[in-house]
Structure 1
């Protein structure tokens, strides 16, 4: 199979920007960012992986890429998000990849570990619990209180008006370092990027008959969780192992939610342990 160096790829009339680095003939890792970040959230992780002989693909996902930002909520349903990633795998020529996801990217990694195991060699999930574990934790812990902001984000337009001028400050209050908080705040000020990111939350509630039925993850999985995460608590983290039918590692670190930005060396070392023999 021919490996192709990418700066972008297209699907369904949308064009996604991608950072592609490292040896083309090395094992391929796809890095999926979360809200309100972008592909550059992995900038300190990528050089370590590349130095170890790993090729990395870091896309700006749907809603974040300027040429891949549909306006309708229904365009952010799970099936569309999963197909975006699988098309990236096709475009890269890699065949099978190791998938890494943080925050919303982590939720997507869990889903693909269940729905498309034949395209993956494994997954490394940062911060985000398995979706089914998250649902169970809502009734068995304080997670529902931690997640109230998700309901607020369903309101049209108002969250954008409130968040846009305040986002950097709110991110600092959530423990993100000032440099990254300022960078993401500035990124989200441009165009409709903030609406694009918020549509991931808004699409969560929409019925999607095209999405594969949820089932247990079928590939080797490592879940890295920070015990000072303000948004995602211990109960959901500990329940996640119930939804994996493959070798599984749970790695607890003394860190908050922002693992790619605050602990890039640890994140990279866990990925390398998963990818290289």
Structure 2
């Protein structure tokens, strides 16, 4: 397992795609699984997940996405629209010679995965999404649910020009507070160290600044899908989680994790691994179960 100083796992490599260069971690052999991280994390967030998937007989691939890889950090919000994020991932698969993979995504990685599953289902063998539901479900909740509206108020800050100062001042005190004690401290420090480098946090925030109302118009997903949601997630509330299945026409499983918050890859890696393997093995996935996990409260302040 990675040491305190090295949060990465597997073999480290770089791939050039469409004029950008992405950093990746790769481990194992077998059917391919692509792991897409969230905000403000990195491929290091899969430390507790990837080695187990590789040991189970899969080839695990995890890139640092646009804005997170130093060689893929264009300037300006327009360069972080969802179409660009999707094309990055499809380009990576093309360079790797992979017509399709099993997708596992968390937070913004889940968002990108939902879009690919809806628009490019031929590239998706199965989908396991953590925390973020289908974007039409989230959009509906955001439009109708007061709790979700309150929890998403931070969008306004993130889309403003003062977010960098507010979140990073005083040794990134407010950003640090997002991570509960259950998230390993060395990972938190790794994320914060990256965010404090020139231009990095702005690139990460550009995901939010490039969002449009069209997210809520995403079409249905027909690929086999599992959605994991922690009932202590302070950013993504129950309304959207329970609506998710209405936008999946393929084989679908909703897994509620009791006592778990937003940071599922770091806090509940065993549950995420178990559900990913169950999804891959289930009828409806293109190739070859579990109970909800109860853990200490993950007091995400997202």
Common topology (TM > 0.5): yes
Residue by residue over 1:213-256, the C-alpha shift from the partner in whole angstroms, topping out at 9 and shown as x without a partner, is 73101200000100110100000000011111100000011211
Deviation at residue 175 of structure 1 after TM alignment: 6.6
1:157-168 paired onto structure 2 within 5 Å: 158-164=162-168, 165-168=172-175
Instruction: For residue 166 of structure 1, give the secondary structure of its aligned residue in structure 2.
Output: helix
3-state SS, counterpart of residue 152 of structure 1: helix
Q: For residue 109 of structure 2, what is the aligned residue in structure 1?
A: 105
Q: Does the 8 Å CA contact 2:18/2:91 hold for their aligned counterparts?
A: no
Q: Show the counterpart of 1:221.
A: 225
CA contact (8 A) 2:81 2:207 kept: yes
Count of aligned pairs between the two proteins: 266
What's the secondary structure of 2:179's corresponding residue? helix
**Structure 1 CA distance, aligned partners of 2:235 and 2:213?**
23
In 2, the alpha carbon distance for the partners of 1:218 and 1:95 equals 18
Does the Cα contact within 8 Å between 1:123 and 1:222 map onto a contact in 2?
A: yes
| TM-score scaled by length of structure 1 | 0.91
- Residue from 21, 27, 34 that aligns with 2:31: 27
Which sits farther off after the overlay, 67-76 or 89-98?
89-98
Provide the C-alpha distance between the structure 1 equivalents of 2:181 and 2:148, rounded to a whole number of angstroms. Answer: 16
Q: Does 1:7 align with 2:26?
A: no
Question: Which one of the candidate residues 64, 69, 90 is aligned to 2:68?
Answer: 64
- For the pair 1:84 / 2:88, whether they are aligned, the reply is yes
Q: Counterparts of 2:28 and 2:180 in 1: how far apart (Å)?
A: 35
List aligned pairs for 1:32-181, cutoff 5 A: 32-141=36-145, 142-156=147-161, 158-164=162-168, 165-172=172-179, 176-181=183-188
Aligned residue number for residue 187 of structure 1: 194
Q: 1:105 to 1:272 in 2, by over 3 A?
A: same
Asked if residue 267 in structure 1 is aligned to residue 272 in structure 2, the reply is yes
The 1:9–1:206 alpha-carbon spacing in structure 2 relative to 1, beyond 3 Å, is farther
Deviation at 1:139, TM superposition (A): 3.0
8 Å CA contact 1:143–1:233 kept in 2: the answer is yes
1:236-255 matched pairs, under 5 angstroms: 236-254=240-258, 255=260
SS of the residue corresponding to residue 73 of structure 2 reads coil
Aligned partners of 1:15 and 1:185: how far apart in 2?
A: 22
Q: Are the aligned partners of 1:6 and 1:92 in contact in 2 as well (CA < 8 Å)?
A: no
Q: Distance in 1 between matches of 2:55 and 2:23?
A: 23
> CA shift at 1:186, angstroms?
1.5
Distance across 1 between alignment mates of 2:24 and 2:196: 21
1:188, distance to aligned residue in structure 2 (A): 0.9
Q: Which runs of 5+ in 2 are unaligned?
A: 1-10, 282-287, 289-302
Structure 1's unaligned 5+ residue stretches are none
Whether the 8 Å contact between 1:27 and 1:97 is mirrored in structure 2 is: yes
